A and B are shown apart, each in its own frame.
Chain A
Amino acid sequence: MGKTVIPFGPQHPVLPEPVHLKLVMEDEVIVEAIPAIGYVHRGLEKLTETKEFTQNVYIVERICGICSVMHAQAYCQGIENLMNIQVPDRARYLRVIWAELHRIHSHLLWLGLLADAFGFESLFMQIWRNREKVMDIMEETAGGRVIISVNTVGGTRRDMTPEALRKVIAVSEEIKEDMMKLEKVFMADYTVKHRLVGVGVLDKNTAYEFGAVGPMARGSGISQDFRTTGYAAYGELDFEPVIEKDGDCYARTLVRLREIYQSVDLINQAIGKIPEGEISVPVKGFPNGEVISRVEQPRGEVLYYLKGNGTKNLDRLRVRTPTFANIPTLLKMLPGSQLADVPVLILTIDPCISCTER
């Protein structure tokens, strides 16, 4: 049978960001997928070499809007390791709280986009209405909706008052309740199940071989969550990685749904244990040497390589983002699946192309 090549993207209604895939088709079935990225390259890694290491926090935050807190956190933790800075305890807890709020907002955004991808518009709107509560609480506590700029080398820039902390708990509980109601739609709805169950199955070994990270790996039964290594204040909190065994789109959706509840739980624990005290320490001197810093983002593990040379500028900053690690698994899942399932399959890796290309 003759083969057809269908270009998918970079502009496509289902794609929030530009990724291009050449889909080699036989009838309605995909035989091969050839990816092409490079549509939103902005040269941020090079830009960081011209700025001071304290200013770079604001550049790395802009690598990705949806996980900006974690980018800044990874960068700051790397520099703090290089310069042997002991971050105050309160700042470590505040970083956890803001990071988990960010994870909730990212997962809610993704669940909405998924509902949109299989054409369930009202579910999409319901989820994004809930997401607005997180955005509001972030604006109230940090001063910005998405790029909240709270991390700095040596701690955090803002503190939360006891009233703000109580409000964070109240709002996150409210989101949890709302999501409990909407969870039934994802778990039990016939249409949703029809589009997700058994689609894009990635078994445990393949996921491991192809280096899947984050919810992709956890949806395939790999217990891998970088937060368990206990960076920031995660070591003092009690949690287990969320795991589903099936490895299909449905399992990955469930992982992300349950991670929202996990984040709410982590926020509650962190607020319960947060100590009083300073939020940042003054930074003296310049970073010298090399370091690798890793943080768990909503999409998986991000890796920062930082090289300082004893001056105010860094020699090199290199980022490996979770989407970059997950693209091989996508290319593994696509062959053999139907053209109609492609949007859902691309979405389940939670692509963040502006991260990947920087």
Chain B
Amino acid sequence: MFDMIGSIFKNLGSKPATRMYPFEKREPFKNIRGQISGIDINQCIFCGICSRKCPSDALAVNKAEKSWEIDQYKCIICGLCIEACPKKCIIMDDQYKTAAYEKEKSKFIQQSAPQAEKPKQE
């Protein structure tokens, strides 16, 4: 009947098991799948292997337009695109995607003076 007492007293004297989350964040582990944050668009050759491998059809590659687009709300973060990419230029971030007010896609376009376009509204 008193088996729980020991752990109760132990817990009284020890630190909390939880973290004050938004203020105190845990150091992310190495090589975890947080979110696909984007692509190094200058290296991309627009082969389209990533979009064909993607199980959730989250990627759209356009060779004529030289654009690479990800719908992060469709992405299931399996990491298949990263394994398939011949140039290894897709970037996996170790931070999770946070909640958002609107679903938006991230589009990256290769230009003569390359730059990443701001996330476009759907």
Contact = CB atoms under 8 A, between A and B. Distances in A.
Interface in B60-88: 76-80, 83
A59 B77 CA distance: 12
Interface string A33-56: 000000000000000000100011
Interface in B1-27: 1, 3-4, 6-8, 17
A58 to B, nearest CB: 4
A184 B3 contact: yes
Contact of A144 (B3, B30, B33, B80): B33
A139 B78 contact: no
A129 interface: yes
Contacts of B7: 126, 181-182
B55 A59 contact: yes
Contact of B4 (A55, A157, A189): A189
Contacts of A188: 1, 3
A181 B6 contact: yes
Given A129-B17, A149-B79, A140 B3 contact: no
B32 A143 contact: yes
B121 interface: no
Nearest to A145: B32
Contacts of A126: 7
B83 A55 contact: no
A56 B30 CA distance: 27
A203 to B, nearest CB: 30
Given A55-B53, A58-B78, A59-B55, A189 B1 contact: yes
Contacts of B6: 181
What is the predominant secondary structure among interface residues of chain B facing chain A?
Answer: loop
Nearest to B96: A145
Given A143-B32, A149-B79, A185 B17 contact: no
Nearest to B26: A136
Interface in A69-107: none
B98 interface: no
Contact of A139 (B8, B29, B76): B29
Interface string A180-206: 011011001110000000000000000
Contacts, number: 48
B3 A185 contact: yes
Contacts of B83: 157
Nearest to B77: A144
B17 to A, nearest CB: 5
B32 A139 contact: yes
Interface string B22-45: 000000011111000000000000
Interface string B99-115: 00000000000000000
Contacts of B31: 143
Nearest to B57: A51
Contacts of A169: none
Given A122-B4, A143-B79, A189-B1, A55 B32 contact: no
A189 B33 contact: no
A122 B55 contact: no
A123 interface: yes
Contacts of A58: 55-56, 76, 78, 80
A132 B19 CA distance: 13
B96 to A, nearest CB: 10
Interface of A: 51, 55-56, 58-59, 62, 122-123, 126, 129, 132, 136, 139-140, 143-144, 149, 157, 181-182, 184-185, 188-190
Given A55-B55, A58-B78, A132-B17, 20 more contacts: A51-B55, A55-B80, A58-B55, A58-B80, A123-B4, A129-B17, A136-B29, A139-B29, A140-B30, A143-B79, A149-B33, A149-B78, A149-B79, A181-B7, A182-B7, A184-B3, A188-B3, A189-B1, A189-B3, A190-B1
Shortest beta-carbon contacts, A-B, top 7: A55-B55, A184-B3, A143-B33, A58-B55, A140-B29, A143-B32, A185-B3
28 contacts: A55-B53, A55-B80, A58-B76, A58-B80, A62-B76, A122-B4, A122-B8, A123-B4, A132-B17, A136-B29, A139-B29, A139-B32, A140-B29, A140-B30, A143-B32, A143-B33, A144-B33, A149-B33, A149-B78, A149-B79, A157-B83, A181-B7, A182-B7, A185-B3, A185-B4, A188-B1, A189-B3, A190-B1
